[in-house]
Structure formats: C-alpha cells, structure tokens
Amino acid sequence: MKIATPARPAALQLPEEIHPDVVHRATSRLVAHVSGRADPDGALRGHCESRVLESALALSLMTRTGAHSPARDRLLAYLRPHRQSADRLDAVLASLAVGGAAGRETGGDSALVGTLASGVLAAAPGFISVRRRLMVYAVLCVLGCPLPADAELPGGGQAPTDPLHSWAAVQQASITLILAGAMGVRNRSTEAALGTLLATDPATTVWEGYALMHLLALHALAGVPGQEETVRRGLETLLRHQRPDGGFPFVLAMDNWCTATGGLALHAAGADPALLRRMTAMLGAHQGGARLRSLSRGAPLTGGWSMSPLVAQNDVDDTSCALELLQAVDPVTHAGAVRRGVDALLAVQGADGGFPTYVAGASSEPCMTAAAVCALAPHPATAPVRDKALAFLADSQHADGSFEPGWSRSRLHSLFRVRLAACTAGQDDPRAAAMAARIEQTVRETQNTDGGWGMQPGDPSDDVSTAYGLIALCYADDPRPLGRALTWLLAQQKADGSYGGPPDMVGPRPFAYHFPLLTDIPVLLALGHVRARLADPQAVLPAVR
C-alpha cells in the first residue's frame, strides 16, 4: 500500500511580540511533562477522575442493597459537597443520592425530570436524543424520581433490531429493565434485555472497563427477582475501583486513546523518536481490541483499535488516531497493522460518505469523518473515498460554520478536526476550500478579547478550547488571531509544564469526564502545529531549564 508524503505548508511568521524561542521552550516543558507520564512500554495510561453521575448511582445501589462499609462513608464524603455544585444536574444527582442514603424522601416531580432531560438533550447530537432522554429518566428513576408521562420503553417495547454498538445495546437493555420495572411491565423485550445484561458477567467484571454501564446494569438487575446475588457480587467488584477521593469514574482506562493522541502530539512537537517507537509498538500489540464477546447489533469495526486493551468495542476515532501515529512514526514496521486499520475504516463508511463512531449503518458524524479522512490521507488509492467524505463534511456544515456536537463539549473540537481534514483536499476542491474558510471565519469571530476561546461562544477562555481554536487558525493566512491565542495559551502554562482547566471530553454524550492528561495533549498538539509552521520545524527543541 503506497503512502504519500504530505506537502509542507508555507512558513508562518509569528507576531513580533512572540519570539520563536519562547514557543520552543514552552513546548519542550510540555513535552517533558507528557513524556514523563509514559510507562516503559510506551503507553500513556491516564487517570480518569471521579464523576458525580457514577458516584450517585453507586451510593444509590449501596442504599438499595443495604450495603454498609467504609467505602459507603467515603462515597458520602465525596458526594455531599456536590449538592451545591454549579452544574444543576450534578447538584440534583448528589442531593438525591445523599438524601436517599439518609432515608429521606428524595423524589422530585416529573417536571424536574423533564427539565433536566431537556437540558441534557440540548447538548447532545440529535440522532441519540431518544436514547439519551430515556437514559436520564432511568437514572433519575433509580434515584427516587417519578417517571414523566412521556416515559416509554426503548423501541416501543419491541425486540430491538436497529444497528447499535455493544455499549449502546447494553445501555438500552439496562434502561429497558429499569423503566419496565417502574411501569410494572414484563414481556419479550425485557427478557431479551435480561439476557444481554447477564452476558456482560456483571458479578465478576466491570464489562469493557465501563463503570457507568456496570452500574446501570446492576440497578436494572436489582429489580429482577433472583438476581440478588449477582447484584451483591457486582457491587463488590465495583468497589475495587473506588477512587481515593471516595467517588467512582466513568471508565477504568483509556490507554489506547491517550497513547495515540499523546503520540501524535509528541510527534508534532519533535519528541524523542525512541519513545514514539515504543508508543507505536504498544498500539500495534493492541490492534483489534480485547478478546471479549461483542454485543453489537450491526457490523462492528473489526481490525481497528478500541480506547483501551480492556475494551472489545473498536471505534473510528481510536482507529484513525492510531493509524495516523503509526504512519507518521514507522509505516514500514507497522505496514500490516496499517493495512488492516485502513480496511477497517473503509468497511464502515456510510452511503452518504461519512463515518460513524462504531458500527456500519449507524449515523455518520462530522468529527469521526474528519478523523478518518486524516488517517486515510497518506494513501492515494483512497482518494475517491476521501472525496465523498469531504463532500459529507461540506454538506454537514451549519450556517454559522460549525458542526453538530461530537465527543467534546467544546464547539471548537469538531471545527479544528474538520479544518485539518480540509488540509488534505486537493488544490482544485472548491467545496473543501469554502468549508475551511467558513471554519476560520467562525473561529475568528468567536475569539474572546483575551485571545482565547471557551467551550461555547461567550464562555470564559479555557486551555483546551483555545488549543483547538489555535490549530484551526494555524493554516490561515492572517497570523494576528493566532498570535493572540498563542500569547494567552503560553501564559496559562504551569510551573511543571502542564495545563489545566475544565474537561471537554464527554461520554456518554453529553456528560463530561476528566482525564487530566487529555488537557495536556491537545495543548501540546496545538504547540506542535505551530512548530510545524515556523520557518525551521526540524529545529531541535531547547533543553528545559
């Protein structure tokens, strides 16, 4: 499979107030910080922090099963302060769980449930709206809230047949049993849901390392007579993963995702080639995901990568980023893995030219499509596929230049990824050029006066969104907005070289989760893109002092 060499973009002249050495030194400090997180095998194993959603469900399950232990006390200590959270959903979840643990009547009215569901749906892609609304109903139901009048079983109570990836299938099965229990319904749909949940072996394992899904499954099974022992053992399994602060995380690990994205950022920033080779070797060893039973209803992406070696569910995002890194660092050594990864992506492209996140036949998404285009760009034979994908992206662009929410709370996330995809288009592609121009326009127009960007227009500037905005403007002709963004971003660097700010990644959409490493990585990628546009991108980074 022939791999093309990308053309080098024209050199960027930084504004006079920013000396290239300042950028190089800030980059070298962040490179040292991120590189220092790598294990000897090259893996970046980030730590997922506790989240209120999972923690509230865990406390509710302990209350429901009568479990009393020091773990419960630590969990209460974690949740109590969140009752005053500025995030309304977090505040409600924590209050309901803590109140329930104290034996108080905690159920809100159905109007509250509907209001919270509407708030969640406003931040999620439209094609998952029904599934996400019912998930909110199910979560609040097990915390003591009444079901609203529009509550229904997923799929109308019929046996599901639509293409769903395995996580969505397990989520739907959990929601089905929770809502059916509240409604007093038992039918073929609930029997099928029970079989799906038992197939995840919840008594002995946190399936796919997905703590949220494990908790939903245990709550669903807690309403089924005869499953008491499974729930008890499943809770014991979960408690082994309690965080030091007393809470519980969204997922247990994202080693492949952190390594692939971190590797791309380190490569762009000129990091140690030996480290990059270890990172690609680690990813090459974990191609194909874990050898676990897939519960997908639809043709899953096979031959790609999942977010962690614990996970069987491969996805377009991890596959695309892993492919990009292997091709950038050592395409010869990993030629077989690259070929299988490319074939895996091609197999799930939709008829509309776009790419879904997980399984063939699911809705195409702009962010996933942009990722796939960048991964396929080095392969000339994929040009017709990429042309269709770029046409899908152009058709998906909103009037204001943006795209539907992807796997980030930040509006800038999809914008920068589509902008990079547009860079792969030929000079004679006017639609891609127009799409890129509209992206650059909306990014410039929404830049805050301090030079940064927030998650949404008008929000305070944060490190991750500013990194995304900086990348989106890195290939524009006007250096002035980029200079203001770079000035703001450089000023946020901490003494140890790292960055901070609110988390942007979401899962399931639109619930944010936090891996601190996933703040450092986008900033490093942005600094790497700046480095690539400087007059001498091959210059050796100065030593950290």
The closest alpha carbon to 153, from 186, 126, 194, 117, belongs to: 186
- pLDDT for 294: 56
Say whether the peptide bond before residue 510 is cis (omega within 30 degrees of 0): yes
Residues of the chain where predicted confidence (pLDDT) is lower than 50: 1-2, 5-7, 159-161, 292-293, 537-545
**The one-letter amino acid at 437:** A
Return the CATH fold of 26-48+253-533: Glycosyltransferase (1.50.10)
Token readout for 442 is 């909306």
> Mind listing the pLDDT tens digit for each residue in 324-341?
999 999 999 999 999 999
Q: What is the Cα–Cα distance from 355 to 424, expressed in whole angstroms?
A: 17
The domain segmentation of the chain, as residue ranges, is 26-48+253-533, 50-249
The whole-angstrom separation of Cα 210 and Cα 216 is 10
Distance CA 304, CA 294 (A): 14
Q: How high is the pLDDT of residue 10?
A: 61
Task: Specify whether the CB–CB gap between 488 and 450 falls below 8 A.
Answer: yes
**Bridge partners, 50 (sequence order):** 249
For tokens 């962040």, what's the residue? 30
Residues linked to residue 365 through DSSP beta bridges, in sequence order: 355
For residues 265 and 500, what is the distance between their CA atoms, to the nearest angstrom? 17
DSSP 8-state assignment for residue 5: P
Catalytic position from the list 317, 318, 462, 463: 317
Strand ranges in 174-298 using DSSP code E only, listed in sequence order:
248-249
From 372, 275, 361, select the one nearest 322 (Cα to Cα).
372
DSSP H/E element including 50: strand 50-51
Is 317 a known active-site residue?
yes
* Res 98: pLDDT: 96
**Residues 6 or more apart from 262 whose CB is under 8 A from it?**
34, 37, 38, 44, 279, 517, 521, 524
